[in-house]
Amino acid sequence: RWFTHFYVVSVLWNGFLLIWLFRAEFLGESLPSWIQDMHHALGKDSQSEDTGNEHFSALLVLLLLWLHSCRRLAECLWTSVFSSGVIHIVQYCFGLSYYIAVGSTVLCQVPTNVRNGKELSVQIRWYHIIGVMMYIWASLHQHRCLAILANLRKSRSGKVVSLSHSVPFGDWFEGVSCPHYFAELLIYVSMAITLGIHNVTWWCVVMYVLFNQALAAVLCHEFYQKSFSSYPKHRKAFIPFV
């Protein structure tokens, strides 16, 4: 349940960045000086040419990141049923920092003083469409899987009746033990596609998510195998068939 704090921070911070980038993209305003200073410190040339539609792509990814945080916050508040588990203080502090850093990472991929002036319809590219469609697909499955986990602890009337662990079935659970982690990876991959596929910095973020979610999935998979003797042997930990 402490993850709720991460999504509160993400909704507020990334929503703030989204508003500033929207104003820069559509109202022709410059980003705040402190953001431009951050660009300069990270080696981003604020006067460079916007050759890859960076402003619109970054705006779209920030929007997807913000929507993802809003959905996850809503699920933490109204869908998921948490046990009494705790989180290490180091992991907690890192989580808060991560959701601040990840939005800033998106913003730092664009020149700060460029106004391309193109119409919105002209700016939409094929990778935007593919990225958004993949994002929606992965988000729907992640929500379904989280709902399946929550319903294991609820009665048919929706009342919480247990906080113990049970074996989930349905949707992507038929192939892997932690499909919600796999969906998280796909969501970040969809953002990499939306940024134009070539963005090396965001692929580094994807790699972090891959290793982070894979580790958590393997631990969870081993827990299921040890706790339930009849656990489906064909299920993989994280990625289907891998």
Domain ranges of the chain: 1-123, 125-241
Distances (CA, A) of 174 to 21, 135, 145, 168, 241: 41, 21, 11, 9, 11
Higher pLDDT, 44 or 224: 224
Are 50 and 111 in contact by the 8 Å Cβ rule? The answer is yes
Q: Rounded mean pLDDT of 66-95? A: 95
What are 100-127's pLDDT values in tens digits? 999 988 988 776 555 444 555 557 899 9
List, in sequence order, the alpha helices (H) in the chain: 3-26, 33-41, 54-78, 89-107, 120-123, 126-151, 179-194, 200-227
Average pLDDT over every residue of 130-157: 96
Neighbouring C-beta atoms of residue 97, cutoff 10 Å: 12
**What three-state secondary structure class fits 160?**
strand
Question: pLDDT tens digits for 163-214?
Answer: 999 999 999 999 999 999 999 999 999 999 999 999 999 999 999 999 999 9
More confident residue, 217 or 43: 217
Residues 33-79 pLDDT 10s:
777 777 677 655 544 455 447 788 999 999 999 999 999 999 999 99
pTM of the model: 0.92
Over residues 135-140, mean pLDDT: 98
